Amino acid sequence: MTDSDHATLVKRCTVSIADRVSFDHDLSQNPIADLRCAIVFVHAFWSGPSFTWLRHMADIVAKHDPTGVVRFVVCDTDCVSELADPPYNVDVSSGMGEVLWIHDGIVRARHGRGGQCDLGITTSSLVAECQNECRQH
């Protein structure tokens, strides 16, 4: 499957926020260290549970960030093996769909095998933090 096919699948699974989702298979265009306010979803295209989590996460983002303050970036778990190493320590092998909340290039929270958090509260907190920054500038 090509990156274009993967991007199309991602858009279909994230209908509620499809206009603001970007697919970057290896995070080369969106390195975590360069992301100011973002949610990164580490997606396994070979895993049914990962597709379920991707749809669910898109709906949570649509609910808690209706104006699109936070970027939503989806990458391919098979192309980001370096995320398994510190400082990220992402489980890139389970295929469950790992979620990272990023602020100023730092992982502020994670959901998946590497840690659990409340998806709605964590998303709302990141949105509020990013909105406050925008108001101050």
Query: What pLDDT, on the 0 to 100 scale, is given for residue 3?
Result: 75
Stated pTM of the model: 0.93
Q: Say yes or no to pLDDT of 106 above 90.
A: yes
Q: What is the pLDDT of residues 40-76, one digit of tens each?
A: 999 999 999 999 999 999 999 999 999 999 999 999 9
- Cα dist. 13→31, 62, 101, 103, 134 in Å? 23, 13, 19, 25, 29
Question: At residue 78, does pLDDT exceed 80?
Answer: yes
CA distance 97 to 83: 13
Which CATH number does the domain housing residue 111 bear?
3.40.30.10
Q: How many structural domains comprise the chain? A: 1
pLDDT of amino acid 136: 57
Domain range for 82:
3-136
**pLDDT surpassing 90 at residue 4:** no
CB 108 within 8 A of CB 118: no
The pLDDT score that the predictor gives to residue 132 is 84
**Two tokens, residue 77:** 């778990």
Give percent helix, percent strand, percent coil of the chain, each to the nearest 5. Answer: 45, 20, 35
